[in-house]
Structure formats: C-alpha cells, structure tokens
Amino acid sequence: MPQYFGKLHTTKQPWSTIGAVLSIQRDERSIHFECDGPRLAIKVLAPNLIRVQLTPTGEFIPRRSWAVALDDADWSVVPFEVRETDETLEIETEQMRVCVDRQCYIECFDKAGRPFAQDAEMGMGWRMGATAAWKQIQTDEHFYGFGERTGLLDKLAELQTNWTVDALDYGSLTDEMYQAIPFLIALRPEVGYGIFFNTTFWSQFDIGAEQPGVWRMETRGGDLDYYIIYGPRPEQILHTYTQITGRMPLPPRWALGYHQCRWSYESETEVRQLARDFRDRRIPCDVIHLDIDYMRGFRVFTWSPKRFPDPSKLVSDLVRDGFKTVTIVDPGIKHEPEADYRVFDQGLEHNCFVRQADGQLFHGYVWPDKAVFPDFLRPEVRTWWGDLHKSLTSTGVAGIWNDMNEPSIADRPFGDPGNKIWFPLDAPQGPDDERTTHTEVHNLYGLTMAQAASVGLERLRPTERSFVLTRSGYAGVQRWSSVWMGDNQSLWEHLEMSLPMLCNMGLSGVAFVGCDIGGFAGNATAELFARWMQVGMLYPLMRGHSALTTARHEPWVFGDRVERICREYIELRYRLLPYIYTLFWEAATTGAPILRPLLYHFPNDLNTYALYDQVMLGPSLIAAPIYRPGVEYRAVYLPAGTWYDWWSGERYEGSTHILTHAPVERMPLYVRAGAIIPMAPVMQYTDEHPLDQLTLRIWPGTGEWQFYEDDGHSFEYRTGAWATTTYRVHSDGQQTIVEIGAREGEWTPPSREVRVELVGVGEQCFQDDGIARCLTL
C-alpha cells in the first residue's frame, strides 16, 4: 500500500516490555539476562558485531540458516570485558562498548564515547503476534539500505515494509517491493552502524515516521533477533554484513557486457535477426534473453516447437557469433494431469508442490493458467528443480532469469479481473524436521528459487560459471543471484529513481543489480532512451528490456543519432570492463557495492547524504547524469580532493559545486586525481579477443589500484588461477612516477603490451611480463 495512505488504524493492545533483570550469566561469547519469564541474550561475534536476541516466553526459537551464512559458533571467539555496576552491565570489545541497564535498555558507544544504536524510551516490546524494538535517531543521522526501495536515497521519515510482492506499476510511494531485505545503515559524521533484522516474517522499519527522533523495527515473529554492526564507515558495515549473509560469487565476465531483452523475441527468426543487427551495426552485445514466449504454452522447461524448432542449433549459432543465451523460468507449473507434462507429473509424484493446511494441492493462476508451485524451502525440491534446468543447459543456455517469484499469483484465470494472492499463510512449508508455515517463509520464496537455480547450474555446468537473475529475494540473495528492479516505466522519473534504487541495493549487500534500460512499461522517447543508455552503462547489470505491446527499445530504433550515442556508451562500458571486473571481484571478496552513492566514500561529508543523482562507479569515477528532458546543464557536486573531467581533462578542486554542460551526447563523468583505470580495446563481445592490449589510463595525483584478472569463465580462480597487479602513482614535484608491482597469483594473462597514458602529460608502453617496474613520465 502506498505510504501516502499511512497505516490503517487498528485497535492494538499495548506493548509489554521486558521488566527488571533478575540474574545475569556469562559464557565465552554471550551474556544472558534472565527476567521474570522473558530472556535476553547478547552475543559478541566480532569486535564490531553483536547479536541481540529477546524471547518473551523464555524459549529461544531455534535459529534457521536461511539468510545467515555464518553460524554463531563459526565466528572466532573474540575477547571482551564485562563490567557490572549497580545500574548497568557494560560489555567492551576492541571497537565498541555496549551498556545494558537493569531494564534491558541497550546503548552502544564507539571508542570516543559517541553513542549509536541506542534504545529509545520504549526499548523492546511485544504483544500478540509481534515484537519490536525502538531506537533513537541522532541529529544529522540518515538511513540507507533497506534492500529494494523506490524514491530517493535517504529513508528518514519513511516506513519500509519487508514483504515480497509483485510490485507492478510501482512508483515513488510504493512500500513493499519484490525484494525484502531487512537491513539498514544509519550514518552521521564520524559514526555509522548497520542493523540486520534477522526475521523472515513480515517486518517493518519506521524511520521516524510515527515519532520523529525514534526509529522502530517490528516483526510478526515471536522473538526479536537483530545484529548491530559498528562501522563507522559504510564499507566496514558491509564487510561485516556480508560475512553474516554471504557474498556474491564471481559471475562470468560475459555477464558484465550488454544484455538485450524484450518481452518477447518470440521466434528463432526474430532472435537471429536481432543478433545480426548487433553485429552489423557494430554495437557490442554479449547476452540475449528469451522471455516467456520461448516456451510451449508457458510450460516451464519446455521449448515451443513452432517458434523455436531447433533450440540447440540456434543457441550454438549464437555462441559462434559471441552471444550467450539466457532463458526466463517462472515458478508456476502448469497444472496438467495426464498430459505427459513431466514437470507437473514428477513434481506431483515426488510431492514437491506447496499444499494447503488441509493437504490439498494449492493452485493459483499465472501465465500457464492454472498452476502449482514448488516448495523451494525443501532441499530435495531444490535439487529436483535444479536438475530440471538440464532441458535448457543441454541446448547451451548459459544463464537463468527467475521471474514472478514473490511469488506472483492471481486468484482466477488471466483475463478475468482477479486479485493477486499468496499462498495461504498457514500452508505448511519446509522439510519435515523444520516444518513451518508460509507466514514465516513468504519472503524466502524468490531467494530459495534462485538458490535452486544457482546450485543446479553449477552441477549441470561444472566447469563454466553461469549467470542467474532474480526478481524476488531476501537478505543474502547476493549469494545466489543478480537482481533487477522489476517492472519500471519509460518515464524520466524512473530513470532518475534508478540510481538511488541501485545504490540502496548495493548498500544492502547486493552489488550485481540493474534496472531495465529504456524502461519496461511504456514507450521511451529518443531522448529518454539516449539518456537512459548513458546511465545504463553504469549499472552493474546492463540490460535493455521492454514489455509486450510497447514500442521496440533496441539501440537502433530511435534513429542514427541515438544509435551513435548508444554505441558510444556501450563501447565505453566495454572499454572499462577490466576496471569493472575488478570491482566485481572486490564485491565478491569484500561485499562492497559496485555502484555507490557518494556517501560511501565520503561518509563524513554531509553534502553527500541526500545526493541521489550522482553516483560512483568504484572509487575513481563520479557520474552526474542528466535525467530530465530538454536539460543540457546541471549542477555537479565534487567532494574533497582534485577531480578531472573525463572528457575534457579539465581540473577541479573539491569540495565545490560546478555547472556543467551536457548536450545529449554527453553524460558528465569525473575522475579522481591519482585514479588508475585499466581499459580494454572495444570488442563486440567480452571474449572476442583475449586482453592482449591493456591501457592504464592514469590521472596525475597519488593513487593505487589493484587490478584483478582471471580467465573470466571457469571456476579455476577458486584454486589459484587468478592474477593481481598493484599499480601506484605519485609525483615527486617535477615528474610523475608510475610503479607497476610484480604480478601475483597463478594465472598468466595473454602476452601483451601495456600502454600507460598519463592524462594530459604523455604515454609510455611496456611489454607485460609480470615483473615489477617503475616508469617516469
């Protein structure tokens, strides 16, 4: 429901609170507070990480491993001190101090004594079917993350509900979205912390909407379980948060190229023509997505014999021309007894489908009409489902796109004006020994479906990395899949919103994200499309897509001028791939976002806190796109330091605001002094040539860059077949010195020349033999 309408007023019981502490016990990792019935446990998992658990009944619900990748026992034990006074108990680690008073109010402090994550007056409480905690909002504190969110960057004064829905027609006021990621980052100068609210039940954050100065988290689960992660910097918070919920695996390099999608390229002929258009027009492209019409009557894991008579031939011809094929897979399986539809037959035989509490098969209506749904919470169902992908991978399909997995279900056949429904909340789900109901695991449907696909693909394609894309997910979805922001619209407002949306995903641990370039619903204009392709070049997932019945949105349909712009920006993407691939590696190893709001690198600069319309691609580039029609000028904020205009080389001293001119051919782009950007020649697809010419584009200043490479497609990097090279630049007043470190790792890049381009100064070349050297320019 749009936030605009606020919350419906219901009669609610007052909250019960925990009451006085009767006794305290300590063990190696935790402190247990016994109250009169309720119990509170505080665990120290790392010097910057504590876990708070409250049970009103005195019985802790056993922990389930759905989102949390690291069990409490897997953290190495860290030293902490405990001090008790009459009023409080203090827990002190190397990085933070936690005070708990006799009423169980929790307050944290950094080493300088600055408070954070302090309980507000209400502290923690519960009532029929809900538990909650209230915390204080400090002056200048702002809130980010929250997973997939519309609107702008900072979520102060908003309500954020975590309940996955098909958010068709979403706009700035939409609350529930496809993803539910109950995680936030609170930031003020010098102080930053994260909260992971470890609940899969319906939950909600109220960031000072109801009561200014107080934020609340509430869940419809019976106990309260959350992690407090001290930063203070966003990168430190994300590092720890992704230790808890996991990090993304390194995708195949081709998945970083341009993807072309439409609902639908609905026949082999059309797909072949599409591929030919890209190559003839010399517009780089790596991936073609096939939407629901490749199937026979929307039956998952089938091909339409009429429209795609020979999928293996098609897919292998595409491979020969440098294209990978990705197919959509929906969770709804056509209810079709005795029709030789083996997916339905097998699923029924092995009892894979979600049933109602009374044991009846649950069904709803989706694309194949009457449909049933696998219970992905059960490991054997995930294995079965994963193996079904063989019907696609055996034809050469290299990636899977999971849609409709909130799950999106109608209560009557498509065409009838029905309602969206979900499984009955009391529908049993999960394995026998962990049986629960849909109430608890609704938010996990997309996550577990993506997990089934990801794990299945690794079994079916054991030597090649695959690509997985999902619409729905929960905290930790990054372990299994990339994510796109569903059905956006061909509107300037949606272009504008795409940057803060993707930035907040990145600040929620999900780095591999994108929005449909050009907008999914509606018809883009030439100008909108050109501007969108410029912005799309920055999206970690760069995919153009458009809906059935809309005008076509391929890069060439808007005439020569827009085609030239699309080509130029897609080419820029391909030239930057060595840099971007290194950012993916960083995301995979540290949890850092790829696309970042400026506050990520400048968390003490209040000017960046609301800045939603500029982004950083990695640490070195700031883009300030145009996202309004007819606009050719815009203000740009350049934070502290020296910055160069990417295009003109003009130099600026930050922090400053400048007015820049950006005709439709230009997306304003700035680069940090001392930046070192590894660049490749333009290729029509990522693996057209090995990287046998590498350019290091360097801007005068002081800087360092660790460049990562591997073969881009196999899993051998996991066993050492990777290479990193550290480059450094500095100046001795007269000259600029570029140091090339010795190559590390066991992978040997192709023999190549490296061109070092010191922007505005000059260039030098050397043969890359992996040996350390020093250049003076």
Q: Which residues are tagged catalytic?
A: 403, 406, 487
Query: Between 291 and 336, whose beta carbon lies closer to ligand MIG?
Result: 291
Look at the alpha carbons of 412, 415, 416, 421 in this order and tell me if their dihedral is positive or negative: positive
Query: Between 221 and 407, whose beta carbon lies closer to ligand MIG?
Result: 407
Q: Could you give the CA distance from residue 264 to residue 269 in angstroms, rounded to a whole number?
A: 12
Query: Between 298 and 581, whose beta carbon lies closer to ligand MIG?
Result: 298
Structure tokens at 384: 């079965």
Residue 298 beta carbon to ligand MIG: minimum distance, rounded to whole angstroms: 9
Residue 548 beta carbon to ligand MIG: minimum distance, rounded to whole angstroms: 7
Residue 179 beta carbon to ligand MIG: minimum distance, rounded to whole angstroms: 13
Return the HEC string of 277-295: HHHHCCCCCCEEEECHHHC
Whether a cis peptide bond, with omega within 30° of 0, leads into 655 is yes
When computed from its CA atoms, the radius of gyration of the chain, rounded to whole angstroms, is 26
Query: Between 193 and 263, whose beta carbon lies closer to ligand MIG?
Result: 263
Residue 421 beta carbon to ligand MIG: minimum distance, rounded to whole angstroms: 15
Report the interface residues with ligand MIG, using CB under 6 A. 263, 291-292, 328, 403-404, 471, 486-487, 520, 545
Q: Could you give the CA distance from residue 596 to residue 587 in angstroms, rounded to a whole number?
A: 12
Q: Could you give the CA distance from residue 33 to residue 43 in angstroms, rounded to a whole number?
A: 11
**Matching residue, tokens 């609940």:** 199
CA angle 132, 133, 138 (to 5 degrees): 145
CB within 8 A of 586, min separation 6: which ones? 592, 594, 618, 708
Residue 545 beta carbon to ligand MIG: minimum distance, rounded to whole angstroms: 6
Return the HEC string of 432-499: HHHCEEHHHHHHHHHHHHHHHHHHHHHHHCCCCCCEEEECCEECCHHHCCEEECCCCECCHHHHHHHH
Query: Between 328 and 694, whose beta carbon lies closer to ligand MIG?
Result: 328
Between the two ends of the chain, the Cα-to-Cα distance in Å is 60
Phi-psi region of 299 (alpha: psi -120 to 50; beta: other; left: phi over 0): beta
Are the CB atoms for 126 and 174 separated by under 8 Å?
no
Are the CB atoms for 605 and 639 separated by under 8 Å?
yes
**Matching residue, tokens 């491979």:** 319
Query: Between 330 and 768, whose beta carbon lies closer to ligand MIG?
Result: 330
Residue 328 beta carbon to ligand MIG: minimum distance, rounded to whole angstroms: 6
The string over 124-163, giving b where at least 16 C-beta atoms fall within 10 Å of a residue's C-beta and e elsewhere, is bbbeeebbbbbbbbeeebbbbbbbbbbbbbbbbebbbbbb
The secondary structure of residue 374, as a DSSP letter, is: B
Query: Between 410 and 592, whose beta carbon lies closer to ligand MIG?
Result: 410
Residue 544 beta carbon to ligand MIG: minimum distance, rounded to whole angstroms: 12
Q: What is the dihedral of CA 141, 144, 150, 156, to 10 degrees?
A: -20
Query: Between 241 and 520, whose beta carbon lies closer to ligand MIG?
Result: 520
Residue 447 beta carbon to ligand MIG: minimum distance, rounded to whole angstroms: 17
The secondary structure of residue 613, as a DSSP letter, is: S
Q: Could you give the CA distance from residue 564 to residue 580 in angstroms, rounded to a whole number?
A: 23
Tell me whether strands 633-645 and 651-661 are parallel, antiparallel or unpaired: antiparallel
Query: Between 154 and 403, whose beta carbon lies closer to ligand MIG?
Result: 403
Residue 350 beta carbon to ligand MIG: minimum distance, rounded to whole angstroms: 27
Are the CB atoms for 314 and 396 separated by under 8 Å?
no
Return the closest-CA partner of residue 227 out of 66, 45, 405, 57: 45
Residue 109 beta carbon to ligand MIG: minimum distance, rounded to whole angstroms: 45
Cβ-closest position to ligand MIG: 263
Q: Could you give the CA distance from residue 409 to residue 421 in angstroms, rounded to a whole number?
A: 6
Residue 540 beta carbon to ligand MIG: minimum distance, rounded to whole angstroms: 17
Q: Could you give the CA distance from residue 547 to residue 520 in angstroms, rounded to a whole number?
A: 5
Cα distances from 251 to residues 508, 582, 583, 708, 713, in angstroms, run: 19, 12, 12, 14, 8
Q: Could you give the CA distance from residue 597 to residue 637 in angstroms, rounded to a whole number?
A: 12
Query: Between 404 and 683, whose beta carbon lies closer to ligand MIG?
Result: 404
Q: Could you give the CA distance from residue 281 to residue 304 in angstroms, rounded to a whole number?
A: 29
Query: Between 287 and 404, whose beta carbon lies closer to ligand MIG?
Result: 404
Residue 399 beta carbon to ligand MIG: minimum distance, rounded to whole angstroms: 15
Tell me whether strands 428-429 and 436-437 are parallel, antiparallel or unpaired: antiparallel
Query: Between 292 and 621, whose beta carbon lies closer to ligand MIG?
Result: 292
